[in-house]
Structure 1
Amino acid sequence: MSTCLDLPAEAAEILSAFSADMDPSIQSALQQACRLKPVASGEPILTEGAVGSVLYLVVAGTFGVYRRDPLDQTDHRVAVVSTGQAFGEMALLDGEPRSASVRAEEAGCLIEIDPDALSKQPDGVLRLSEFKGELASLVTRRMRAANQEHVAALQRELKLREEQQHFGKFFVYSLIMMSIGTLVNNVLARSLTNIDIYTAVFAWQYLAVLMVPSLLIIWHMQIPLSELGLTTRGLGKSMREGALVSAGLCAVTFGLAAGLRYFDVLPGKALPFDPWGSASYFLHSALQEVIARGFLQSSFQRFLGDKRGWRSVILASVLFGMFHLHFGLPAVLMTIATGCVFGWIYIRHQNIAGVVLIHYMMGVAAFNSGLL
Structure 2
Amino acid sequence: MDINCGNSSYEDNRTAEAKFRDASIILGILLSGVGVWVIIYALWEHLGRPVPVSYMVQAVDLLGIAMCLTAWRFTSFSVKELGLFPENPKKVAIETLILCGISFVILATIKFVGQMYDPTLFQTERGFFDIRRFNLYQIFYLFTAFIQEFTARSIMQTNLRRVCATRHKTMYAIVHASVVFAVFHIEYGFWFMIGAAFLGGLLGVVYEKQKTVLGVWIIHWFLGVAAFLFGIINQ
TM-score scaled by structure 1? 0.56
Task: Confirm whether residue 276 of structure 1 aligns to residue 136 of structure 2.
Answer: yes
Deviates more, 1:355-364 or 1:309-318: 309-318
Structure-2 residue corresponding to 1:252: 106
**Greater per-residue helix proportion:** 2
1:227 aligns with 2:81: yes
Stretches of structure 1 that go unaligned for 5 or more consecutive residues are 1-142
CA contact (8 A) 2:85 2:212 kept: yes
Is residue 2:191 matched to residue 1:336?
no
State the match for 1:113 in structure 2: none
Match of 2:64 among 207, 210, 213: 210
* 1:241 and 2:95 matched: yes
Distance verdict in 2 for CA 1:266–1:275, change over 3 Å: same
The one-letter amino acid of 1:247's match is G
State the match for 1:163 in structure 2. 19
Shift in alpha-carbon separation, 1:231–1:220, aligned structure 2, 3 A? same
Q: Work out whether 1:291 is the aligned partner of 2:151.
A: yes
Shift, 1:237, TM fit: 1.8
- State the secondary structure of the residue aligned to 1:309: helix
- Paired with 2:85 and 2:60, the residues of 1 have a C-alpha distance of 27
1-structure distance, mates of 2:69, 2:90: 27
Letter in 1 for 2:204: G
1:302 maps to 162
- 1:175 is matched with 31
**How many corresponding residue pairs?**
226
Higher relative contact order (CA 8 A, sep 6+): 2
Tell me the amino acid that sits aligned with residue 182 of structure 2. G
Q: In 1, distance between residues paired with 2:160 and 2:214?
A: 20
How far off is 1:308 after superposition?
6.3
Shift of 1:181: 2.5
Task: From the superposition, tell whether residues 264 and 327 of structure 1 become closer, same or farther in structure 2 (CA, over 3 Å).
Answer: farther
Does 1:326 pair with 2:187? yes
Structure 1, residues 275-328: CA drift from partner, whole Å, max 9, x if none?
432221112111211111111111121222455622221211111011112112
* Per-residue Cα deviation, 1:93-151 (whole angstroms, up to 9, x for no partner): xxxxxxxxxxxxxxxxxxxxxxxxxxxxxxxxxxxxxxxxxxxxxxxxxx3xx111111
Deviation of the 1:268 alpha carbon: 9.6
Distance 1:161 1:265 in 2: 58
Q: Over residues 215-254 of structure 1, what are the superposed CA-to-partner deviations in whole Å (9 max), with x where a residue is unaligned?
A: 1122211422321110131322222111111111122223
Distance 2:35 2:204 in 1: 23
The corresponding residue for 2:4 is 148
Partner of residue 368, structure 1: 229
- Closer/same/farther in 2, CA of residues 340 and 220 from structure 1, 3 Å limit: same
Give the direction of change, closer, same or farther, for the CA distance of 1:171–1:266 in structure 2 (3 Å limit): farther
1:27-61 CA-to-partner distances (Å, cap 9, x unmatched) read xxxxxxxxxxxxxxxxxxxxxxxxxxxxxxxxxxx
Distance 1:352 1:268, change over 3 A: farther
SS in 2 for 1:315: helix
Percent same amino acid at aligned positions? 17
Match of 1:195 among 51, 67, 81: 51
After alignment, is 214-223 or 238-247 more displaced? 214-223
Q: Tell me: CA distance 1:324–1:269, structure 2 relative to 1, closer, same or farther (3 Å).
A: farther
Decide which structure has greater strand share.
1
Q: In structure 1, how many angstroms separate the alpha carbons of the residues matched to 2:145 and 2:226? A: 13
| TM-superposed deviation, 1:264 | 7.0
CA distance in 1, matches of 2:229, 2:22: 40
Residue 19 of structure 2 aligns with an amino acid whose one-letter code is E
Runs of 4+ in structure 1 over 6 Å off: 267-271
List alignment gaps of at least 5 residues for structure 2. none
Q: Which is higher, the Rg of structure 1 or of structure 2?
A: 1
Q: Residues of 1 paired with 2:201 and 2:222: CA distance?
A: 16
CA distance in 1, matches of 2:120, 2:178: 25
